[in-house]
C-alpha cells in the first residue's frame, strides 16, 4: 500500500488537521500521498492536489475522513476499480465509516502490512429514459429514490421486475435500496434491515396511500423498471441522496446490479451487529 489517496469532509473542524497528520504519518513510512484538489488547497502548503475523479486510478488505497455521505461520494468516483476504502468516522452515525479516531493509526499500521479484511458491498446502475432515449446514468451505493416535491400530490409509479408487472405504487415516493442502503432512507421509510453481505434489492414505498403497498425484497439478478405516471407534478430522481434530476410523466427508471462493488476495510474491533446495536440501539428495550 504505497500509493494512498486522501479525501476529507473539508467543512468539518477536525478534517484538515487530521488529513495533514495522517499524510505526514504515511509519508514517514514511505507512502506516496495523493490529495483531492480541494483538500490540498484548504490545507495550504506545497502539497499537490488532484481532481477527485482521477485519484482512484493512481492509488491502491483510499482514506476517507468524514461521514457516510463523504464515503458514498468517493465510492461512486472509484467505480469498478475495486480500490479498498478506509473510512474514518468524523460524523455522528457512521455505518460505513467504521474506524474511530482512536483506531486510526493502529488500523493504518495493519493495513500497510497487508493485515486487513474488506467487506464487499454491491452497487446499482440506474438509467433514466425519456421517450425511449437515455437521459441519465448513475452508479449507486445506497439507494435510488423517486420522490415528490413539497407541493406535489401522491404519485403513481408502475413497477415491474424482470418484465413481470409487480404493482402500481401510489405513494409519496419509492426507494430502491442495496443491503448497504437498507439502514438509510429505506429504514426511515419502514423498510427492512438487510445484512450487507447479502445480494438483493429492496423496494420500499414512501408513505404509501394503500396499506397493501409494502416493502419487498427481490433477487440481485432482477431488473427493476419504474414508470412514473403523472402530469405536471414536481417529482425528482436522486441517487444516494447526492445527485439526480427532475422527472416528467412517462419517464422510465431502470435499476439493476452493477458490475462494480465498493470494498470497505473492516474495523478489527467491531462487527456489523455491534454497529447496529451502537448506532441504532438495536434490540434495546
61-66 and 85-89 strand pairing? parallel
215, 205 in Cβ contact below 8 A?
yes
User: How far is Cα 83 from Cα 120, in angstroms, rounded to an integer?
Assistant: 11
User: How far is Cα 18 from Cα 150, in angstroms, rounded to an integer?
Assistant: 39
Catalytic residue among 14, 46, 68, 163: 68
Q: Using alpha carbons, list the distances in angstroms from residue 194 to 121, 203, 281.
A: 12, 12, 16
102: its cell numbers? 482512536
Q: Using alpha carbons, list the distances in angstroms from residue 177 to 70, 100, 138, 180, 217.
A: 18, 26, 14, 8, 9
270: its cell numbers? 467491531
Question: Is 232 annotated in the active site?
Answer: no
19, 8 in Cβ contact below 8 A?
yes
List residues with catalytic annotation. 68
Amino acid at each position: 500500500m504505497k500509493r494512498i489517496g486522501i479525501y476529507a469532509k473539508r467543512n468539518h473542524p477536525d478534517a484538515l488537521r487530521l488529513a495533514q497528520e495522517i499524510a505526514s504519518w504515511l509519508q514517514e513510512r514511505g507512502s506516496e500521498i495523493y490529495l483531492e484538489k480541494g483538500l490540498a488547497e484548504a490545507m495550504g502548503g506545497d502539497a499537490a492536489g488532484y481532481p477527485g475523479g482521477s485519484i482512484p486510478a493512481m492509488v491502491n488505497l483510499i482514506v476517507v475522513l468524514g461521514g457516510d455521505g463523504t464515503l458514498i461520494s468517493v465510492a461512486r468516483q472509484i467505480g469498478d476499480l475495486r480500490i479498498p476504502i478506509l473510512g474514518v468516522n468524523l460524523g455522528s452515525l457512521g455505518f460505513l465509516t467504521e474506524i474511530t479516531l482512536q483506531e486510526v493509526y493502529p488500523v493504518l499500521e495493519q493495513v500497510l502490512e497487508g493485515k486487513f479484511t474488506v467487506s464487499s458491498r454491491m452497487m446499482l446502475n440506474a438509467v433514466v429514459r425519456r421517450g425511449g432515449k437515455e437521459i441519465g446514468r448513475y452508479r449507486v451505493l445506497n439507494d435510488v429514490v423517486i420522490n415528490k416535491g413539497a407541493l406535489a400530490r401522491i404519485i403513481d409509479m408502475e413497477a415491474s421486475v424482470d418484465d413481470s408487472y409487480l404493482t402500481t405504487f401510489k405513494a409519496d415516493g419509492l426507494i430502491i435500496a442495496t443491503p448497504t442502503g437498507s439502514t438509510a432512507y429505506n429504514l426511515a421509510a419502514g423498510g427492512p434491515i438487510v445484512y450487507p453481505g447479502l445480494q438483493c434489492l429492496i423496494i420500499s414505498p414512501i408513505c404509501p396511500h394503500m396499506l397493501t403497498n409494502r416493502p419487498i425484497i427481490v433477487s440481485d439478478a432482477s431488473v427493476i423498471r419504474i414508470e412514473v405516471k403523472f402530469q405536471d407534478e414536481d417529482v425528482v430522481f436522486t441517487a444516494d441522496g447526492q445527485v439526480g434530476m427532475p422527472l416528467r410523466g412517462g419517464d422510465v427508471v431502470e435499476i439493476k446490479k452493477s458490475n462494480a462493488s465498493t470494498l470497505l476495510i473492516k474495523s478489527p474491533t467491531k462487527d456489523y451487529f455491534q454497529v447496529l446495536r451502537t448506532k441504532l440501539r438495536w434490540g434495546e428495550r
